[in-house]
Structure 1
């Protein structure tokens, strides 16, 4: 009686591993670019919707609403660590608890990937009760996944009227 063994030979296994390694070597850079593009779209959309939310809440509450990278007591400049949207009842850009007036945090966005870059021409965006920006200048926010010159970088401009426009040209975080 002949015993029949089932399985793979060493040569078959080595060929399979070699083919898998070649496919991974070719495919991983493409997947990384795809992932960074998706991450850029997702995160710039998150920032964009938070700015729109701040403007609509300013009109709804009839109050000044600010968006800034909030470090617990005041506005910071590092957008990568996350940011907050809050009703700004006190001193502009600080969480004020004096005179019984408490600024109310409406939304908090957690930090982004530590390798990403977010640049903003303004450290704080404040909308008045009429939905217009508090400052007489426009601002822009640019998100760059992974490196400052990534071709998947996205950005938008916020006009004095509070209108948000996507930046159509190529953008970098420099």
Structure 2
């Protein structure tokens, strides 16, 4: 049986056997390629930090806004008795939606917050009550008040480019502002 011999695309070298072709990469070529990729990755990595911070803040803002909408719907459906309660460590640690009927309190939804995100509520309240008409107030039975929630990356300030403020009007309208800008009047 005769073997099939393909011509070698490179010029023959004296250190190779006659007709032997080199296929693949040498270890040195692979190491050089990996070193170049490592240097390029190290240069590009710091530019991803602001993107990740914006993503975390946006995720927390959307989660809180979604929770407020859910809470309103539940309050209207159940005739009140609904509250958004910050976890024991504050809004930074997450929150839950509770339903109180008589002396029984039931958790309806629990929302953790993404790591490395700071959250502060305008009046430092840890519980927001929702009446049977879906209006938010800071104390049970009180008239609805305008409030805002500032969400920003941990270690940064309210004016950071990633910061977002949720403005909740007395009528219940929610507006998001960027870089912690003041709420519209």
Same topology, TM > 0.5 = yes
Shift of 1:108: 0.8
Is the helix fraction higher in 1 or 2? 1
Q: Normalising by the residue count of structure 1, what TM-score does the alignment of the two structures yield?
A: 0.75
Q: Is 1:171 aligned to residue 180 of structure 2? A: yes
Shift of 1:83: 0.9
Whether the 8 Å contact between 2:56 and 2:114 is mirrored in structure 1 is no
Per-residue CA distance 1:100-147 (angstroms, 9 max, x = gap): x3122211112431x321111232211111122234432211222343
Gaps of 5+ in 1: 71-75, 91-100
Shift of 1:25: 1.9
Q: What is the SS of the residue equivalent to 1:81?
A: strand
Is the strand fraction higher in 1 or 2? 2
Larger deviation: 134-143 or 4-13?
4-13
RMSD of aligned C-alpha atoms?
Answer: 2.4
User: Following superposition of structure 1 onto structure 2, how do residues 99-138 of structure 1 map, counting pairs within 5 Å?
Assistant: 101-113=103-115, 115-121=116-122, 122-135=125-138, 136=143, 137-138=145-146
Q: How many residues get paired?
A: 155
Q: Aligned to 2:41, which of 8, 14, 24?
A: 24
Q: Normalising by the residue count of structure 2, what TM-score does the alignment of the two structures yield?
A: 0.71
Q: Which has the larger radius of gyration?
A: 2
Per-residue CA distance 1:50-98 (angstroms, 9 max, x = gap): 011111211111113110114xxxxx461122211112345xxxxxxxx
Whether the 8 Å contact between 1:67 and 1:84 is mirrored in structure 2 is yes
Q: Provide the residue aligned with 1:151 in structure 2.
A: 161
Higher normalized contact order (CA 8 Å, seq sep 6+, divided by chain length):
1
Whether the 8 Å contact between 1:116 and 1:146 is mirrored in structure 2 is yes
